[in-house]
């Protein structure tokens, strides 16, 4: 799993991204919709076109949830409990989609952070997002 150093790094990166949460989140969502068009079906009630207010506000919510989880990664199961229930029982999002968004997010981070997204940061972030996706998928049966 993640070392203490990696956890600190992840926390620091998400803290830095909080002011641009809507921008990063919207970028990741657009990448997911473009690469995996099936994911768009969950958002048919929203306007998910580039720069739309729905896209930006939903992107912001996602990034803030990921940033909140990064505050204390050892408590991910506790922090994410409400989101687990929401996705599994109300939204009924196929849990395979979580990996698709995680991957899209990784690409968005690489584009946004450029050279700052070092191989060490990239590897740590990949592990964190995988752990996040796994926790979100836990309530499914
Ligand atoms: Zn999700 C919602 C997060 C993934 C789909 N989400 C949501 C929210 C949040 C989230 C925070 C809000 C809540 C409230 O409001 O309370 N997600 C999240 C995260 C992730 C996710 C963090 C990962 C990482 N989702 C996802 C996916 C999908 C989804 C993959 C599909 C594809 N979500 C969703 C929906 C919703 C949500 C549909 C609802 C929206 C509206 O607004 O309606």
Domain borders along the chain are 4-140
**Do the beta carbons of residue 70 and residue 78 sit within 8 Å?**
no
| Alpha carbon of 24 to ligand 1 centroid (Å) | 15
Tens of pLDDT, residues 73-82: 999 999 999 9
Q: Which residues, including other chains, have CB under 8 Å from residue 55's CB and lie 6 or more apart?
A: 26, 29, 30, 46, 47, 48, 49
pTM score: 0.97
**Do the beta carbons of residue 111 and residue 27 sit within 8 Å?**
yes
Pick the CATH number of 4-140 from 1.10.490.10, 3.60.20.10, 3.40.50.410, 3.20.20.60: 1.10.490.10
Tens of pLDDT, residues 83-98: 999 999 999 999 999 9
**Do the beta carbons of residue 18 and residue 64 sit within 8 Å?**
yes
Residues with Cβ within 6 A of ligand 1? Answer: 39, 42-43, 58, 61-62, 65-66, 83, 86-87, 91, 93, 97-98, 101-102, 132-133, 136
CA atoms within 13 A on the CB side of 42: 19
């Amino acid at each position: 799993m993640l070392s203490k150093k990696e956890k600190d790094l992840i926390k620091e990166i998400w803290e830095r991204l909080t002011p641009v949460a809507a921008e990063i989140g919207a970028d990741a969502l657009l990448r997911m919709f473009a690469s995996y068009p099936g994911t768009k079906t969950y958002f048919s009630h929203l306007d998910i076109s580039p720069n739309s207010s729905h896209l930006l506000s939903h992107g912001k919510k996602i990034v803030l949830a990921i940033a909140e989880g990064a505050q204390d990664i050892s408590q991910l199961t506790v922090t994410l409990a409400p989101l687990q229930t929401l996705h599994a029982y109300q939204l009924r999002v196929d849990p395979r989609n979580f990996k698709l968004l995680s991957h899209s997010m990784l690409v968005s981070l690489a584009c946004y952070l450029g050279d700052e997204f070092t191989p060490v940061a990239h590897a740590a972030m990949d592990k964190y997002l995988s752990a996040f996706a796994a926790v979100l998928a836990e309530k499914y049966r």
